[in-house]
Structure 1
């Protein structure tokens, strides 16, 4: 019987310690005050709302053109150089354009594209091979 009472007393003390720990600003943000959103007094600066970028903003900041053989692929469409130029002209001049060419891409096709981009004032492009 004494062992049982001793064990019960030990369990009660452990439960009380856990309750006190969590109740009085406990471990890992748990506790009474944690959900109120109070700042820690030791923080250097307050947090600001992070700047979010939408998918549309990212599309405006970058464009990818794939050259395969004598064809230009842009936005999952096969376009002629004239139609591609019309689509690219809608983009801002500071847009980063990535030109990806596969093994079958004709060098003169890539050169025509880069010459046209430079002519239009899009100097922020880079070539990337697959």
Structure 2
């Protein structure tokens, strides 16, 4: 597989680099304001989404510019926040969708429909 790269001047970026970062190992009580303070130092941020109760300790950070995202990854991977070392990765859609097993979810829905007598078939 050929490596696709982006250029800005003489800077070449690897293919996995993108504007969306996936952050793990965050303190559970971190606020959006604290996230903007930490990540905003490296460029303009379009959006930050902090995990819910099921995904506590994680967040997505979307930068306006891909080079700002790269700078943030370079500087914040391993950064200490409230005695927790951040894990900052580039978001990879293919990798995340693999974690969500669609077949398993469909089987679970079918099992629940059978258990409670719910049908999705048209009754006409």
TM-score when scaled to structure 1? 0.23
- Bigger share in strand: 2
Larger RCO, structure (CA 8 Å, separation 6 or more): 2
TM-score when scaled to structure 2? 0.24
